[in-house]
Amino acid sequence: MAELQEKKCNPMTQRQQHCTKHPKQDVTMYCIEANCKVPVCATCGLLDHQGHKLIELSAAIATIIDDMHKATTKLDETKKELQHKRLTVIDLQAIVTTNFKKKEKEMKESVQKLHQQIDTTHNKALTHLKNLYEIEMNNLTAINESIDSFSAQMTSACEFANQSCDTSHPTQLLTTQKQIMDRLNELVIAELPKTASDKTDFDFTEKYYSAMAQIQESLQDLCDIRWKPLVDPQRCTIQLGLAGGSKNKRRAKQKQRAIVESVDSNGQRMTIGGTKVEATQGGDSLHVQDNNDGTYTFDYGSYEGSSSLYVKINGTEMKGSPFNTLPQVDPLQCIIIFDAEYSSAIVQTVDANGHDMTTGNAKVEATQDRYSPNIQDNNNGTYTIIYDPYGGSLHVKINGTEMIGSPF
């Protein structure tokens, strides 16, 4: 390779080589048989390659070089494809990293919210505990103050009585003794201050132990982390015409409800939400409710002028979109009314829910054995058939299906 890159040798101008079996002879031909493909000398050509197709070396070299160029061209294309795949992987790595950081942030925020709730509960309980403590301490302080006041009154009365006995003039003692004795007797029979409170301990329990046990158990499954399957818009399904739709005030008509079921690329129904589902009708975006179970609900109109319903999943139109939301005629529920002269009839089209249609454009066909009836679309869900009462049995088809009772 080094010599080739330095152009020191060239396969086209390289000197001839000697035959490995006959060293004295130069190779002059090339055997192109599938099991051979080797250069040979004249002797080898006559003996070992008799009947084989031999070509000149220059022609063989040109063919080989051309084949090599074709192979290297294909490898270059493959290399470009690999490079494209590598860039795709790099892009996917960036997306996975971004999603990882996003989910990591969401997890931290979720745990922080949990911490905040616990802190709020703790602060509330601690405030209640402090309030109980302060109330009881104030009660005990008041009792102590009452005891000190009563004790001081007793000390003062005793000291005054003793001092009067020791120092007062007999006449003065006789004069004041009634007042002194009344005070002493009053204190003797006085009600003592109430005793200290028996609230010396606080009762703390994990309020509603069963609830605490549930919290502890639920914390074990606080987070559910797994790879999110990719939704396949072409596999998702939609149900139209469900009950429970909202009232449309602008058109004074009842809206119908639709539910989209998301399906992954393996055909499995999704059981988690988070998929971007968009629905538009008549140029207006509809509100889509994520039910967080793999289904998505929205209300839509089913009246003329808003028949086309577009649904996208993760930016891609789902299979069948746009959907026609106009009620479909049910030939087996349609009715026909003949006039008294039996020359014309009115067909009233009915939808699958048993409601009379109010719009036209249904395909109504009528045939007779000896007459071709005329059909008129009244554009209000009814169709007038002009027929010959003597033209034979009247066959009536609606959207290709014979209506009930036909032939008449």
pLDDT tens across 380-406, in order? 889 999 998 888 899 999 988 999 899
Residue 408, both tokens: 């008449």
Query: Residue 259 pLDDT > 90, yes or no?
Result: yes
Select from 48, 16, 55, 51 the least CA-distant residue to 32: 55
CB 240 within 8 A of CB 256: yes
Contact assessment for residue 366 and residue 385, using Cβ atoms and an 8 Å cutoff? yes
Calculate mean pLDDT across residues 305-310: 74
Contacts of 331 (CB under 8 A, 6+ apart): 397, 398, 399, 401, 402, 403, 404
**pLDDT score of 306 more than 60:** no
Supply the pLDDT for residue 8.
58
Q: Which residue has the higher pLDDT, 246 or 90?
A: 90
Edge-to-edge strand order for the sheet containing 364-367?
364-367, 395-398, 401-402
CA 111, 117, 119, 122 torsion-angle sign: negative
| Range scoring the smallest mean pLDDT among 234-238, 249-253, 296-300 | 249-253
Using the structure block, give the residue that is written with the tokens 């996208």.
312
Q: What is the pLDDT of residue 219?
A: 74
Query: If you write DSSP's letter for every residue of 230-261 in order, what string do you get?
Result: PB-TTT-EEEEEES-PPEETTTTEE-EEEEEE
pLDDT tens for 100-137 read 999 899 889 988 988 998 899 889 989 999 998 998 89
DSSP character for 263? Answer: B
The pLDDT score that the predictor gives to residue 255 is 75
Residues 359-374 have pLDDT tens digits of: 788 889 999 988 889 9
29-31 and 308-313 as β-strands: parallel, antiparallel, unpaired?
unpaired
Q: Which residues share a beta bridge with 364?
A: 398
What average pLDDT does this structure show over 325-349? 87
Q: Which residue has the higher pLDDT, 217 or 74?
A: 74
* Banded model confidence at residue 244, pLDDT cuts 50, 70, 90: low
Q: What is the pLDDT of residue 210?
A: 66
d(CA 179, CA 161): 10
Domains 237-324 and 335-402 share a fold: yes
Q: Which parts of 201-322 are beta strand (E)? A: 237-242, 247-248, 253-254, 256-261, 277-281, 284-286, 289-290, 295-300, 308-313, 316-317
Domain ranges of the chain: 237-324, 335-402
What topology is assigned to 237-324 in CATH?
Answer: Immunoglobulin-like (2.60.40)
Q: According to the per-residue pLDDT averaged within each range, which of 1-5, 71-75, 170-174 is highest?
A: 71-75
Distance CA 293, CA 270 (A): 7
Strand partners for 317: 312
Rg from Cα positions in the chain: 52
**C-alpha dist (Å) from residue 192 to 2, 153, 196, 376:** 117, 12, 12, 111
Phi first, then psi: give them for residue 74, nearest 5 degrees: -60, -40
SS3 26: strand
Closest among 133, 165, 320 to 233, alpha carbons compared: 320
pTM exceeding 0.85:
no
pLDDT digits (tens, 9 = 90+) for 36-70: 989 999 889 888 898 899 998 888 888 889 989 99
Residue 251 has pLDDT above 50, yes or no: no
CA distance 230 to 312: 15
How does the average pLDDT of the chain come out, rounded?
84
CB 332 within 8 A of CB 378: no
249 pLDDT more than 50: no
User: Architecture of domain 335-402 in CATH?
Assistant: Sandwich (2.60)
Give the chain's largest Cα–Cα span.
174
Gap between the Cα atoms of 230 and 388, Å rounded: 62
Residue 408 to residues 245, 329, 389: CA-CA distances in angstroms? 40, 20, 10
Token pair in block for residue 248: 């449309």
